[in-house]
């Protein structure tokens, strides 16, 4: 058992019978009334972020989680198949546990978060940025760069993201996996 003074970003807690991670928190001491902690919690089953307020000092149940390195192998009708980089055992994960599944490519290293006591996978975390090749993009019109205009581009995994006009088919780009946005062009 812990209390609200133990809150930190990334802490996994059990709340209302479900598992949540703390995305952000803020201790508030108003002039009148008791202190409280305002939090943003991400549900590990659905990925939904909810706001919640805890009275300062309230007891909470923490859950021990482990992050383990895995490598993405392939996708089949069962789900996404990963191999543990240390023990070489394979595991199949359903699409619902992977936030940016359309940015996974074969051989890519990820971290899978496991519930330590139950040994069940909770979510798959991709690295913050991945390098991808643009497989299709409409050509940009020369001189059409007065504003930060974006166009659609298809990358090697089949995902469609918005990129600047100067990106062409065959370019390698860095994609932010947290919001599936263009980050920068990669120099060859």
* CATH number of residue 94's parent domain: 2.40.50.140
Q: For residues 99 and 143, state if they share a domain.
A: no
Q: Average of pLDDT values for 135-161?
A: 82
Q: For residues 156 and 120, state if they share a domain.
A: no
Question: pTM of the prediction?
Answer: 0.76
121 pLDDT higher than 80: yes
Q: For residues 57 and 81, state if they share a domain.
A: no
In the prediction, which pLDDT does 123 show?
85
Q: Binning pLDDT at 50, 70 and 90, where does residue 111 land?
A: very high
Instruction: Give the strand order in the sheet containing 150-155.
Output: 160-164, 150-155, 129-137, 172-176, 181-185
Q: Which residue(s) pair with 152 in the sheet?
A: 162
Q: Average of pLDDT values for 128-144?
A: 83
Q: For residues 120 and 135, state if they share a domain.
A: no
Cα–Cα distance for residue pair 132/161, rounded to 1 Å: 11
- The mean pLDDT of the chain is 88
Residues 103-118, buried b or exposed e (16+ Cβ, 10 A)?
bbeeebebebbbbeee
In the prediction, which pLDDT does 99 show?
82
Q: For residues 115 and 139, state if they share a domain.
A: no
Q: For residues 79 and 56, state if they share a domain.
A: no
Q: For residues 70 and 119, state if they share a domain.
A: yes
Q: For residues 75 and 58, state if they share a domain.
A: no
Q: For residues 49 and 19, state if they share a domain.
A: yes
* CATH number of residue 44's parent domain: 2.30.30.30
Q: For residues 109 and 84, state if they share a domain.
A: yes
Least-confidence region, from 18-22, 44-48, 175-179:
44-48
Q: For residues 91 and 120, state if they share a domain.
A: yes
142 pLDDT higher than 80: no
Query: Domain count of the chain?
Result: 3
In the prediction, which pLDDT does 78 show?
87
Q: Average of pLDDT values for 31-48?
A: 87
Which of 40, 62, 84 represents a domain boundary (last residue)?
A: 62
Which of 19, 47, 62 represents a domain boundary (last residue)?
A: 62
Q: Binning pLDDT at 50, 70 and 90, where does residue 167 land?
A: confident
Which of 74, 90, 125 represents a domain boundary (last residue)?
A: 125
Q: Residue 45: phi, psi to the nearest 5?
A: -85, -45
110 pLDDT higher than 90: yes
Cα–Cα distance for residue pair 163/183, rounded to 1 Å: 9
Q: Which domain holds residue 50?
A: 2-62
Q: For residues 6 and 57, state if they share a domain.
A: yes
């Amino acid at each position: 058992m812990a209390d609200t003074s133990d809150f930190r970003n990334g802490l996994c807690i059990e709340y209302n019978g479900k598992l949540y991670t703390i995305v952000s928190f803020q201790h508030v001491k108003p002039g009148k009334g008791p202190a409280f902690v305002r939090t943003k919690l991400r549900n590990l089953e659905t990925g939904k972020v909810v706001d919640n307020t805890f009275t300062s000092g309230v007891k909470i149940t923490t859950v021990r989680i482990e992050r383990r390195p895995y490598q993405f192998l392939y996708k089949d009708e069962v789900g996404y198949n990963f191999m543990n980089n240390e023990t070489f055992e394979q595991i199949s994960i359903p699409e619902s546990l992977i936030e940016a599944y359309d940015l996974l490519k074969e051989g890519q290293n990820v971290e899978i978060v496991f519930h330590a006591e139950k040994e069940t996978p909770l979510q798959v975390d991709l690295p913050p940025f991945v390098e991808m090749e643009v497989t299709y993009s409409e050509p940009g019109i020369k001189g059409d760069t007065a504003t930060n205009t974006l166009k659609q581009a298809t990358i090697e995994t089949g995902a469609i993201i918005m990129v600047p006009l100067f990106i062409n088919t065959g370019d390698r780009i860095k994609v932010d996996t947290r919001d599936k946005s263009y980050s920068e062009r990669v120099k060859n």
